[in-house]
Every structure is written in C-alpha cells, then in structure tokens.
C-alpha cells in the first residue's frame, strides 16, 4: 500500500513542509539553508576582521600623530604590522629609497590603499551574491513546486485540497527560505561595506600626510630611527 500524501492536518509548520519536500524543491531548500548559514559565518568573520583592522589602525594613527621624520614613521610601521596604514607606509618607504618623486609616492599610496581595500573586501562578493541570488533561487523552487502540484492534479484527476495543499505549501516555503537567506545577507553586506568604506576613507585622508613626510625629510636607517623613537604604549 502506497503512503498517502501529507494533508493540511498533518502539516503543522514550515519544518513539516520542509520534511515533506522532495525532488528539486528539497534541493533548493537545502541550498538556501546552506546559503543562510554562510551569511552568518561571513558576517561574523567580517565583523571580527574589520574590528581588528580598525583597532590596529587607531593605535597606529595615535602613535604616528606627532611624527615628522620618515625613519621614525617606518620604525613605527614595523611595530604595527597589522595596521593598514603601516603597510601603506612600508610601500612608501620602499619607493622613497628608490628616489621616487612626490607624484610617484602619491600613486604608490593610492595603490597600497587599493590593496587594503581588496584585503578588507574579502568574502564580500559572496555575501553580495547570496543577497541577490537567494530570492531567485527560492522563486525557482516555488515555480517547480507549483508545476509539481499541477502534475499531481493530473495524476489524481482531482483538485481537492488534500491533493493540492501539500505541493503548494512546499512551493511557497521555497520563496520564504530564499528571503530568509537574502534579507540578512543584504543587511550584513550594507553594514559591513559601510564599515570598510569608513576605514578606507580615514586611511586615504591620513595617507596624504605620510606622503608629505616621506617626500620631504632625509631618510635615516630604520635601525637608528627605532633607537631614537620611544616605545609604543
């Protein structure tokens, strides 16, 4: 005897609809569940990463505020390797030792900031893709489920509620799962992207001062600079 299809009375919620899903609708639901899990993992990782970068940059800016000597600035950058600004300063120091002009140093600073943007923006395309694609994946599951519902009507030769309701429920839950993945992804992307842009704006504004320092004063060795510069707190 073949098992009967789930009836509205036997389905008490979204979890029951997911359990009773089959075929392509089940595949879509599993994909959306995985995407939803990835959203929260990426959001947590990016929040931790941006917080760490901002904290390191804040300490570097605080210590670099009163520095007007390029060698001291390079020595400070060596003591703050995790700050985005320190990596910009290191790139400036490398090109300055090669005799680069002011215009070249400005270009080097911009290129270094682009590298920091790429570093801070890691995993952001995945978050954006989930935010934009999840509703369409859910819609695909819904369309497939409705097609399956019509096929069941043809097989059963009946459009009664016990025949149609379970398949329609499976179809609609796919759209709901798509939104469950897309809404947090959109919020997480916008929130994290704003934090990244704030960090890059601060870095871009401060890099002008570093370019001026590296282009004006004579350069001593980093070893002698580190001896004359007080230890950071």
pLDDT per residue as tens digits for the range 81-132:
999 999 999 999 988 877 778 888 889 999 999 999 999 999 999 999 999 9
Whether residue 34 has pLDDT greater than 90: yes
pTM score: 0.78
Q: How confident is the model at residue 226 (pLDDT cuts 50, 70, 90)?
A: very low
Whether residue 16 has pLDDT greater than 50: yes
pLDDT per position as a tens digit, 177-217: 999 999 999 999 999 999 999 999 999 999 988 998 888 75
Lowest mean pLDDT among 12-21, 60-69, 98-107, 181-190: 12-21
Q: What is the DSSP letter of 44?
A: H
CA distances (Å), 8 to each of 11, 12, 25, 166, 229, in order? 5, 8, 18, 7, 76
Q: Is 230 left (phi over 0), alpha (psi -120 to 50) or beta?
A: beta
Whether residue 224 has pLDDT greater than 80: no
- pLDDT the model gives residue 10: 54
Lowest mean pLDDT among 40-44, 177-181, 229-233: 229-233
- pLDDT the model gives residue 77: 93
Whether residue 167 has pLDDT greater than 50: yes
Q: Provide the CA 23 distance to its chain's centre, in angstroms.
A: 32
Answer yes or no: are the C-beta atoms of 105 and 95 closer than 8 Å.
yes
Q: What is the DSSP letter of 177?
A: H
> Burial, 36: exposed, middle or buried (Cβ in 10 Å; 0-12, 13-18, 19+)?
buried
Better-predicted residue by pLDDT, 126 or 163 = 126
Whether residue 19 has pLDDT greater than 80: no
């Amino acid at each position: 005897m073949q098992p009967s299809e789930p009836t509205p009375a036997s389905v008490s919620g979204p979890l029951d609809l997911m359990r009773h899903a089959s075929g392509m609708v089940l595949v879509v639901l599993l994909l959306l569940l995985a995407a939803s899990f990835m959203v929260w993992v990426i959001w947590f990782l990016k929040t931790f990463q941006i917080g760490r970068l901002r904290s390191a940059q804040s300490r570097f800016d605080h210590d670099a505020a009163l520095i007007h000597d390029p060698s001291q600035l390079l020595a400070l950058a060596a003591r703050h390797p995790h700050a985005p600004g320190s990596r910009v300063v290191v790139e400036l120091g490398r090109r300055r030792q090669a005799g680069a002009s002011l215009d070249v140093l400005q270009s080097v600073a911009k290129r270094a900031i682009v590298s920091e943007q790429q570093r801070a923006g890691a995993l952001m395309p995945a978050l954006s893709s989930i935010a934009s694609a999840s509703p369409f994946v859910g819609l695909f599951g819904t369309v497939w489920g409705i097609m399956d519902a019509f096929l069941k009507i043809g097989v059963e030769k009946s459009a009664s509620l016990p025949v149609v309701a379970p398949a329609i429920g499976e179809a609609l839950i796919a759209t709901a799962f798509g939104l469950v993945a897309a809404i947090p992804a959109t919020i997480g992307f916008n929130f994290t992207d704003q934090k990244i842009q704030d960090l890059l704006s601060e870095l871009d504004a401060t890099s002008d001062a570093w370019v001026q320092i590296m282009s004006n004063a004579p350069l001593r060795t980093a070893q002698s600079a580190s001896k004359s510069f007080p230890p950071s707190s």
